[in-house]
Amino acid sequence: MRDFSDSRLLRTSSLPLRATLTGFLLFVGLGYATNFALFAWKTGCTPSGVARYYRGDESQLQFPKEFHELLENTHFHIYIVPVVLLVLTHVFFMTAWSERAKLGVTLLAYTAAAADLAGPWLVRYGGAGFAWWKLASFLTYHATLLFLVGVPLWETWWGRVPEGGPPVSGPGGPADWELG
């Protein structure tokens, strides 16, 4: 934990910390890339495909998702999604972005994740019209994940080192630095 408190920016963190964060971010990125690929394969990333996947399609002998299937999927994701977001946002907090940007991205990530988790239930039981909700929330959530993986990876290895060396707290600290 001292690595996190002593090094407020990724670029000025110790090499072992940057290496382990890079490994974590790459694995998370790969995990969400495969999740995106599965979703695209199963739904075609279209509202009609999303509706078919969750509500079924008799013409193709595709059955609607049953209550227990949605519950099992929700049960797993309701635990893992907040843990991954907790870690990703904490790593993002070590970037040179402003406090306002960090708060905005964090709120967007959690809101999109919650909307995405609600999506299957809304499509299945609320109607096919909610397929747009599921698709939009899924794409927004994955865009925030790409951002939460990509920005820290970039700043870990290629980010600007502030003039005067590692950051200090108080006036003149990280919140005062510009990204330019």
Taking only the tens place, the pLDDT of each residue in 97-125 is 999 999 999 999 999 999 999 999 999 99
- Type of residue at 146: L
Give buried/exposed letters for 117-155 (b at 16+ CB in 10 A, else e).
bbbbbbbbeeeeebbebbbebbebbbebbeebbebbbeb
pTM (two decimals):
0.84
pLDDT by residue (tens digit) across 24-56?
999 999 999 999 999 999 999 999 999 999 999
Q: How confident is the model at residue 11 (pLDDT cuts 50, 70, 90)?
A: confident
Report the DSSP beta bridge partners of residue 62: 57
- Report the alpha-carbon angle 80-122-65, nearest 5: 75
Q: What is the DSSP letter of 10?
A: S
**Cβ pair 151, 143 in contact under 8 A:** no
Residue 52 burial by Cβ neighbours in a 10 Å radius (0-12, 13-18, 19+): buried
Q: Where are the domains of the chain?
A: 2-155
| Spatial separation of the C-alpha atoms in residues 179 and 101, rounded to whole Å | 12
Other beta carbons within 10 Å of 93: 18
**Cβ pair 115, 137 in contact under 8 A:** yes
